[in-house]
Structure 1
């Protein structure tokens, strides 16, 4: 097949240029989307009386046959035809003759590729949201099963305050719920049809773009033809959503890597999800979690890569935009794999309450002792200093709060009474946090029920 643009040229394209400029090696992923939009474009051209009914029927039949060959793996794409669009057009022309060339009427590869990408992203975002929901359901299951486990919450990786472990799992569930909302927002922005914008200025055929949008399932149209072909914001939004999921996955991976060490021993990962060492027989490595943490860097890199491509482009379309696809495909593949990997870890890991609960430690109730004094009328700063002196005394004497009686407490403040001794029980302390979103058992039960309703459990 001759190249569609070679009429103006007097030299054959050099082989290096063909290899360097081709995109079919990666944009072949868009083949089914390209067929889908071509079928809609046929209907639009028929509606505009650019095609006869007979021509439209012939094109539709041939496109459906090519689609079947693609699905069966019987379609060989060729690099010398540059991209997926020209491969399909070449095959169409081979099968039905010159009529195949009519399909590109009122269409440029500029609005064609933008349409393919948007169709592809819409489908992929739905998959990402489905995977996120599966993972959140596992977090809710863990929250239900760990309601009676009280553990240290950490700030600065130092023991801070006692919480029920359910609270921890629900915190990540909230993160991944916000990630879904980012994907929903990206979907809303991508759900606009660019087809019919031509190369840059629109087209001079009476196309009913609203009809095309309805055929392809787009909510609305891209309103400006320059923006339609020059814009890749919809990909940036998608890459940002992927990168943020990666951030949250990486944080949880880091927690679980630490918690699975001998030093912590808070969780046990199943053998089937770990690997060993080629030299140290005793090793059991949390490789899935480490790779999730590592692959997050790729998600960031893909986002920055496209930002860098776009930042210096003059309006409108430039071939640089070909570089949008590999970061897009890689990020979507990577984030789906990472979510699935984390879901498997959450399904398979065992929580070791017998290792968690002994780590609570006396100092973790210090804030509650200070608040006790505040409720007795002492200004918070003075109460903070008083309890700080108490903790410093215990450290210097090698003692624990459990070693103290009411008389000892009164040495630091006469405001302490018998009821202050209840504050030495971390579980009792945790259940004092009854404010909306707190770690008290009754509040967590409410949060779990809401989460189950939201996730359709």
Structure 2
């Protein structure tokens, strides 16, 4: 089957074709929906500037929406011998409408066509990831409030340090996700810029209205400079993968805590049987396999931005075929982080917190700082109070008999500041501006 770029009587060796196409048709299926959107916006603009007769716009729009219906219905395929999703959609249009179908490529290159597909794809996926992060955030905040009075040992250097609480622990991960979302929002800003009209990277002699396609597709702004639009390929993916990596870092740390806290030597939480597995020879085992795999999958995701950085290393401006390989890093990473967020939601929902942990005598020393502070409040200089309590500990005379906790400042055990964390979260989500994008796409497809 002839390629969009192929000249008459030009033949490509099968081995070369397989090497250059690679897995692109597999990943391109995920772009099909967005290729239709980009084409709808592009032909609407072509009609607006007089490059497409008005009477030809409607049949093209109707047929593109018919193709979209097959994509949404799961019956769309990229046929054998078809190079990519762009070729498949143009082939279907031409098959149905004849030469009219060939008009949709005027003023476009496959370079800016795939760029806009990827931007729309990444933008939509970021919206899904943000929704999953928001769900997990809400759960963690609810758990924090519910367990604010359940004390927990706090550790530094894996040595018992000071009293903490499950409220503090759950709340910490909730706020951490908000900070991770700051990077996700930055990635969204870059994904939400319009490259359409940049062509092969040097624009077009057609009078394209790039501001119109920006509005039609709900982009925040165009990439103004056409060369820079092409240079956003790989850069946008890198931003997205960095955000994913940071979320994964939070999830891997939470998973590690769960592995520790579920073990018999800690015994702070209990996981249901659905989240554990047994041993083939030890009948007592309840291994936290889900948490361990979550930790491993999240740790794998931390490496992907570096792979993207290396893939893009030492490339001059302009288009290069390596850009095709960005999909192989980006798309699996997006699927993986969504799976990890889903399983974390399940795990946090079903874990059981154990109460009254700090009544155990082995946690007496957790309260040494509280004793120092009591002396300070009574007028003893801090350094002297520290020495007094230290001597009691060395002499074996400190038993932490008073388990009273008087932490009242913002963000401490007695004042979790959950409303402040909620406000931070709302501020970040409001900056995304998802509603504008959704409204624009609804208008485009209506």
Q: Establish whether TM, by shorter chain, passes 0.5.
A: yes
Rate the CA distance shift 1:127–1:145 in 2: closer, same or farther, 3 A.
same
Rate the CA distance shift 1:365–1:328 in 2: closer, same or farther, 3 A.
same
1:76 Cα offset (Å): 2.4
How far does the alpha carbon of each residue in 1:162-200 deviate from its partner, in whole angstroms, 9 at most, with x for none? 123211111111101112222122112221100001101
Match of 1:134 in 2: 135
Rate the CA distance shift 1:202–1:161 in 2: closer, same or farther, 3 A.
same
Rate the CA distance shift 1:242–1:356 in 2: closer, same or farther, 3 A.
farther
Rate the CA distance shift 1:329–1:170 in 2: closer, same or farther, 3 A.
same
**Secondary structure of the structure 2 residue equivalent to 1:148:** coil
Residue correspondence of structure 1 range 360-375 to structure 2 within 5 A = 361-375=363-377
Match of 2:5 in 1: 5
1:356 Cα offset (Å): 5.4
How far does the alpha carbon of each residue in 1:16-37 deviate from its partner, in whole angstroms, 9 at most, with x for none? 1211111112122100000011
- Is the Cα–Cα contact under 8 Å of residues 151 and 357 in structure 1 kept in the other structure? no
Structure 2: runs of 5 or more not aligned: 427-446
How far does the alpha carbon of each residue in 1:8-58 deviate from its partner, in whole angstroms, 9 at most, with x for none? x76411111211111112122100000011011010110111110122122
Match of 2:413 in 1: 439
Q: Does the alignment pair 1:299 with 2:301?
A: yes
What is the aligned counterpart of 2:288 among 282, 286, 293?
Answer: 286
Q: Does the alignment pair 1:401 with 2:399?
A: yes
Output the CA distance in 2 between the equivalents of 1:360 and 1:194: 62
Output the CA distance in 2 between the equivalents of 1:243 and 1:164: 28
Rate the CA distance shift 1:205–1:171 in 2: closer, same or farther, 3 A.
same
- Is the Cα–Cα contact under 8 Å of residues 197 and 203 in structure 1 kept in the other structure? yes
- Is the Cα–Cα contact under 8 Å of residues 249 and 299 in structure 2 kept in the other structure? no
Residue correspondence of structure 1 range 44-83 to structure 2 within 5 A = 44-78=45-79, 80-83=81-84
Match of 1:448 in 2: 418
**Secondary structure of the structure 2 residue equivalent to 1:133:** helix
Match of 1:103 in 2: 104
**Secondary structure of the structure 1 residue equivalent to 2:306:** helix
Match of 1:246 in 2: 248
Output the CA distance in 1 between the equivalents of 2:211 and 2:244: 30
Match of 2:435 in 1: none
- Is the Cα–Cα contact under 8 Å of residues 137 and 455 in structure 1 kept in the other structure? no
Output the CA distance in 1 between the equivalents of 2:419 and 2:75: 50
Match of 1:414 in 2: none
Aligned length: 423
Match of 2:347 in 1: 345
Match of 1:416 in 2: none
Structure having the higher Rg: 1
Match of 1:389 in 2: 391
Residue correspondence of structure 1 range 107-256 to structure 2 within 5 A = 107-231=108-232, 232-256=234-258
Match of 1:274 in 2: 276
- Is the Cα–Cα contact under 8 Å of residues 29 and 77 in structure 2 kept in the other structure? no
Output the CA distance in 2 between the equivalents of 1:362 and 1:354: 13
- Is the Cα–Cα contact under 8 Å of residues 32 and 67 in structure 1 kept in the other structure? yes
- Is the Cα–Cα contact under 8 Å of residues 21 and 82 in structure 1 kept in the other structure? no
- Is the Cα–Cα contact under 8 Å of residues 151 and 360 in structure 1 kept in the other structure? no
Match of 1:14 in 2: 13
Quote the RMSD (CA, aligned, Å). 2.1
TM-score, length-scaled by structure 2: 0.89
Match of 1:411 in 2: none
Structure 1: runs of 5 or more not aligned: 403-423
Rate the CA distance shift 1:177–1:357 in 2: closer, same or farther, 3 A.
farther
1:359 Cα offset (Å): 6.4
